[in-house]
Chain A
Amino acid sequence: MEPVRYIDRTTDYYRSQGYDKAYAWAKNDAVPFTPLAKPLAQCRIGLLSTSEIAIRFDPATEANPISEEGFRAVYELPADVPTEKFYSRTASFDRYATHLEDVNAFFPIDRLREAAASGRIGSIPPRFYGAYNNYSQRKVREEEAPKALGMARADALDAAILVPV
C-alpha cells in the first residue's frame, strides 16, 4: 500500500472538524547539503526529536533533570540517565496503531549508545536534544533552528540524527 499522504489527509480531517483554513506545510525547492567530513567511526553524533521527551524524577527530592528555557523551545537532556527514566509527553501519534512505551521506537538512545560502544560511530555528546511540534514555521526558523545549531556547535557534533514524531 502507498504511503499515507498526510498533507491531504490532515487537510480533509481538520476540514471535517470545522477548521476552514488548511495548514500550509513548508515547501522548498532548494535543499542545503553538507557532506560528512570524516569517517563515521570518528564522528560525534547527536540526537534530536520532537517526541517531547522528558525524564522521570521525584519532585520531592530531585530537581527536574531537563532544563527548558522559553515556551516549548528546543531543550537538552543529560545523556547519562538510564533509559527507563525517559518518557514521551507527546499526544501527537497514532494512538490506535502504536504506543510510546518503548522510547527507542522514536528516540533511539540505546541504539545510539550501542553504535558508540561498538565503534560504528566515534562518540555521543553528553546531552540529547528535544523539541516540540511547532505550528509557527517562523518561530522554528528564527528561534528553534538557531538554538539547535548553538547546541550542536557547543557539543562539537559532526552530524545529527533528527526524528520527527
Chain B
Amino acid sequence: MSLIARHLEENGIPTVVIGVARDIVESCGVARFLFVDFPLGSPCGEPWNVAQQREIFDMALGLLETARAPRTTREAGLSWSKGEDWKTLVFTEAQPYQSGEVQEAWLARKEKYRQLRAEGKV
C-alpha cells in the first residue's frame, strides 16, 4: 500500500496513509502517515466507536492540509480500550496468526496463481 502511495505522490496526487504497522510504513517511506497504535485490522478506530473513528479520520484529513514535507508522521495518541496485551501476543506461537483453514485457502490460492502463470494469464 505504501508503494502505491509513493507512486501517486510521484505523479502529483497527495496521499495520507492511516496504518498500524509503523515500522513497515516508515521503512517504505510515505509522504504523510497517521500512525494509529491499534491491532492489525482496526487502523481507523475501534469497531463501532464512531466518535473515535471520526477523530482519527479528521486527523488524517488534517495531515493532508498541514504536512509540508515527506515522511510526516503523526501519532494518533489513542490507546486500545482493552489494554495492550495484543502487542506482546501478535505473531507468537501462542496465537497462530492464521487458522489452519485460512492457511489452506492461502495454499490453494498460491496454486491457482501458479496455474494462471503457467497459462500465461498473469
Residue of B nearest to A137 (CB): B3
B19 touches A94 (CB 8 A): no
B23 touches A105 (CB 8 A): no
A33 touches B41 (CB 8 A): no
Chain A interface residue count, CB cutoff 8 Å, equals 79
B8 touches A149 (CB 8 A): yes
Chain B 94-112 interface residues, beta-carbon cutoff 8 Å to A: 95, 97-99, 102, 105-106, 112
Q: What is the count of residue pairs linking A and B with beta-carbon distances less than 8 angstroms?
A: 243
Complex interface: chain B residues within 8 A of A74 (CB) = 4
Q: What residues make up the interface of B, taking CB atoms closer than 8 Å to A?
A: 1-19, 21-25, 27-31, 35, 37-50, 53-54, 56-58, 60-61, 64-65, 67-71, 80, 82, 84, 86-87, 89-93, 95, 97-99, 102, 105-106, 112-113, 116, 121-122
A115 within 8 A of B: yes
B77 to chain A minimum Cβ distance, whole angstroms, is: 12
Residue of B nearest to A121 (CB): B61
B56 to chain A minimum Cβ distance, whole angstroms, is: 8
Could you give, for residues 3-47 of chain A, a 1 whenever the CB lies within 8 Å of some chain B CB and a 0 otherwise?
111111110110010000000011111111111110010010100
